[in-house]
Amino acid sequence: VMLTSERYSVQRLPFSPVSDSDVAFFERMMPGRVITNEEELKPFNVDWLKSVRGCSKLMLKPQTTAEVSRVLRYCYERNLAVNPQGGNTGLVGGSVPVFDEIILSTVLMNRIISFDKVSGILVCQAGCILERLNEYLEEQGFIMPLDLGAKGSCHIGGNVATNAGGLRLLRYGSLRGTVLGLEVVLADGSALDCLASLRKDNTGYDLKQLFIGSEGTLGVITAVSILCPQKPKAVNLAFLGCQSFAKVLETFTTCRAMLGEILSAYEFMDEKCMELVERHLKLSNPLTGSPFYVLIETSGSNSTHDEDKLNNFLEQAMTSGLVTDGTVATDDKKIKTLWSLRERITEALTHDGYVYKYDISLPVGKLYDLVTDTRARLGQSAKNVVGYGHLGDGNLHLNITAESYSHFLLDAIEPFVYEWTARYNGSISAEHGLGFKKKQFIQYSKPSEAVFLMQRFKAMLDPKGILNPYKTLPTSS
């Protein structure tokens, strides 16, 4: 189901169309890494959710920063629009062309440049796949500070460009803290080397922060320097059933107080999520009959110490009636099985029909009220309304499924969900970004002065507007 353009009315800007001489120039520059075949381009023109599609006729696969630099210098001179693309796992239509922009893929930029075992600092190219990096680090006794359901295909450059959050944020913080340096190519082709490998550096403005979360609109990230934590020696997982959302919250408070520094994830899902995961993916639920499920992960350096802490917490949670049922995992296989119940919800939802996805930050006490209110508002017109997410970070994933896309249903959801979120000073995008689908709603989370300043940054760094056009910032009216 592709989005119709009437709701997202967007006109192609006056960029040059790609000519035969442009293609010839790129083929001389990187023979064998220029794709013009329509069939081959198809998957790169469509997003992961199959909800938006572009019609790019050209994809380039540079291997070095110097090549990215030459590509952008040429495109800038010729006024050709460019769509930077990593693993294309985004959920807001930010990683595929809107019209015929050139796709600049980082797929071949997958070299690890260096790793320092004393400081834990990894320097690598932007196209490295998150899971590959984690495997490489695990061999050295370290892990990546972020973990996402899409880890098997997302690129670290894309993660940084969208400031991806994910499952470890509670413990290791956001990429704004763990990314120490970046190498970025600007719209005119000039390369900016801010690839510092220092924990502390207070020399002037922190330029890398501009590019973290800018979704490819201010520059193309080509390399990343990132601080990696040591691999925890002991990982434990508890999967628990709670009878109400109030109990989910109280369990969190108790859990944070009793587990302290070893708490690395606190995720929740409602029973509807569990039903979908069981029905569509045939996964089995180790617990039954709870309206809410909570997944708690601890990671530490001493297994006996951690298990004692976890057991004390579980005993407290059970005896005080916060938790009615639970299972604990310490071996890798069972841990993976339990995590998949939470990580694969997104996948299960895509099997349920057309999905309307919302990624919201709210004061944690209000988190589930939005689900309840949306469910009541939509009634029978939606197939399922589910809520799950990173409770420890106040991040709700609200998803609504229907047999097929409907304007009527979308009008009932938007702007209702955004207005509800704004009323409680939440964010309309906690971790997915704005991309193409949400850029016109930025005012629900940011004052007009802030949006105006963002537009000025964009105009300064990309005066011709060739980088990932039609995305992230609202079209100035």
How many CB atoms sit inside 10 A of residue 17's CB?
A: 11
Q: Is the pLDDT of residue 465 over 80?
A: yes
CB-count exposure of residue 71 (10 Å: 0-12, 13-18, 19+): buried
List beta partners, residue 60.
Answer: 34, 104
pLDDT digits (tens, 9 = 90+) for 230-278: 999 999 999 999 999 999 999 999 999 999 999 999 999 999 999 999 9
Q: In the structure encoding, which two tokens stand for residue 288, read together?
A: 């039954």
- Residue-level pLDDT at 463: 97
Comparing 4-105 with 353-461, is the CATH topology the same? Answer: no
Strand ranges for 43-167 from DSSP E: 59-60, 82-85, 102-105, 112-116, 121-125
Maximum alpha-carbon separation in the chain: 74
Q: How far apart are CA 136 and CA 8, in angstroms?
A: 42
Q: What mean pLDDT do residues 54-64 have?
A: 98
Residue 256 φ/ψ, nearest 5 degrees: -65, -40
pLDDT band with cut points at 50, 70 and 90 for residue 368: very high
Could you tell me the fold of the domain covering 232-352? Answer: Alpha-Beta Plaits (3.30.70)
Cβ atoms 124, 228 nearer than 8 A: no
pLDDT band with cut points at 50, 70 and 90 for residue 196: confident
pLDDT digits (tens, 9 = 90+) for 411-457: 999 999 999 999 999 999 999 999 999 999 999 999 999 999 999 99
What region does 185 belong to: left with phi over 0, alpha with psi -120 to 50, or beta? beta
- Residue-level pLDDT at 6: 47
Give the predicted TM-score (pTM) of the model: 0.93
Q: In the structure encoding, which two tokens stand for residue 152, read together?
A: 């098997």
- Residue-level pLDDT at 1: 43
The pLDDT mean for the chain works out to: 95
Domain regions of the chain by residue span: 4-105, 112-227, 232-352, 353-461
pLDDT band with cut points at 50, 70 and 90 for residue 7: low
pLDDT band with cut points at 50, 70 and 90 for residue 2: low
Q: What mean pLDDT do residues 317-336 have?
A: 94
pLDDT band with cut points at 50, 70 and 90 for residue 4: very low
pLDDT digits (tens, 9 = 90+) for 122-167: 999 999 999 999 999 999 999 999 999 899 999 999 999 999 998 8
pLDDT digits (tens, 9 = 90+) for 370-418: 999 999 999 999 999 999 999 999 999 999 999 999 999 999 999 999 9
Spell out the CATH class of 4-105.
alpha beta
Q: In the structure encoding, which two tokens stand for residue 401, read together?
A: 């499924």
- Residue-level pLDDT at 288: 85
The domain 353-461 is placed in CATH, from the list 3.40.190.10, 3.30.200.20, 3.30.70.2740, 3.40.710.10, at 3.30.70.2740
- Residue-level pLDDT at 3: 52
Spell out the CATH class of 112-227.
alpha beta
Q: Which residue has the tokens 């952008």?
A: 72
Nearest to residue 470, comparing CAs of 57, 81, 91, 209?
A: 81
pLDDT digits (tens, 9 = 90+) for 284-307: 999 989 999 999 999 999 999 999
